[in-house]
Amino acid sequence: MASWQPLCNLRDYVSQNPPPVTFFLCLLMLAISFICLSSYSSNHPLPNPDTAKDWNHLLSTLAHFHLCVKTNWSSDDLVSLGPSPLREQKRSRDASLDLTPQPAHVTSLHLKVPVTITNSHGLPKDVDVFTTLRASQLDLEGNEIVNVNIHRENDTYACLTLRAPTALFPMSRLPPECPASSNSHSSVHVEATDQPPPTSQACYGLLYRNDPTLTIMLTKEEQWVAVRHLIEVSMCLIGVCLILCLAASLSPSKMRNYHRKEPD
């Protein structure tokens, strides 16, 4: 009567059946990966995948544009705007009765963003750069006009003024409001293009540094649900691997059966 030899059966099965063994190893590695991922997810904050277009996304999209002045640009093209839009914002709060009210569906935002403005061909630094974009160019829904005004405050951040329909802006955490400035600024109109400009073209560039505080993270409850699902799937995969191992250990080796049937 033949005895059950699980280790020998497994060894023979592995040597005689490479495709099923490869499938088993893939399942095992996937289960281990899910366990490692669940361990990482339980100890680290995770961004919310349902909020793909947050302010980091909008600002990084804006930073891809080259802001170029016309070819025969000169310092005479600078327009003196007097007080900056941020100062006008403060004044409008104090004397709102003297101003024509803006449509309720249009919003003007004055935000302090981690953007560095670069310049070329002797373009002045301390100016307000303003342009007009379509919402689709900023990867936003719709095709409405978005007025963009950027002023360099220092090498760390800039003040960004956006004026557009309220529904266009991401419904997520806003960057901080830019402080009102009492200084007067000149302004230059630029054309935004996402294509590399000619080397002779005078352009401003934007360097954006991702701000983790603007990313929407999963709550503790949502994070625990994700970790639980990963653990459940990994346990199911490990169960399948154990069933495959048991089935392989129960199947007798064809080689041993062949030798057993050989006449002496």
Calculate the dihedral angle through the C-alpha atoms of 239, 241, 247, 250, rounding to the nearest 10 degrees: -100
Q: In this structure, is residue 1 part of a structural domain?
A: no
Indicate whether 128 and 190 sit together in one domain.
yes
pLDDT of 250 = 82
Q: In this structure, is residue 31 part of a structural domain?
A: yes
Choosing from 214, 233, 252, the residue where a domain stops is 214
Indicate whether 78 and 165 sit together in one domain.
yes
pLDDT of 238 = 95
pLDDT of 92 = 42
pLDDT of 72 = 60
Those residues with Cβ within 8 angstroms of residue 232's Cβ, 6 or more apart along the chain or in another chain: none
Containing domain of residue 233, as a range? 6-46+218-261
- Cβ–Cβ < 8 Å for 166, 146: no
Averages of pLDDT over each 10 residues, the chain, 264 residues: 69 85 93 94 87 85 89 55 46 39 72 88 81 91 90 87 89 84 73 87 89 87 93 96 88 54 49
pLDDT of 6 = 75
Indicate whether 239 and 160 sit together in one domain.
no
pTM confidence score: 0.65
Indicate whether 69 and 199 sit together in one domain.
yes
Indicate whether 162 and 92 sit together in one domain.
yes
Instruction: Quote the number of domains for the chain.
Output: 2
Indicate whether 201 and 237 sit together in one domain.
no
pLDDT of 37 = 94
Give the chain's radius of gyration (CA, Å). 32
Indicate whether 32 and 143 sit together in one domain.
no
Indicate whether 99 and 178 sit together in one domain.
yes
pLDDT of 87 = 44
Three-state SS letters, the chain: CCCCCHHHHHHHHHHHCHHHHHHHHHHHHHHHHHHHHHHHHHHCCCECCCCCCCHHHHHHHHHCCEEECCCCCCHHHCEEEEECHHHHHHHHHHCHHHCCCCCCCEEEEEEEECEEEEECCCCCCCEEEEEEEEHHHHCCCCCCEEEEEEEECCCCCEEEEEEEEHHHCCCCCCCCECCCCCCEEEEEECEEECCCCCCCCCEEEEEECCCHHHCCECCHHHHHHHHHHHHHHHHHHHHHHHHHHHHHHHCCCHHHHHHHHCCC
Q: In this structure, is residue 161 part of a structural domain?
A: yes
pLDDT in tens, 189-211: 899 998 888 888 888 899 998 88
- Cβ–Cβ < 8 Å for 216, 48: yes
Indicate whether 157 and 104 sit together in one domain.
yes
Indicate whether 222 and 190 sit together in one domain.
no
Indicate whether 227 and 159 sit together in one domain.
no
Indicate whether 159 and 225 sit together in one domain.
no
Q: What residue type is assigned to position 70 of the chain? A: K
pLDDT of 123 = 80
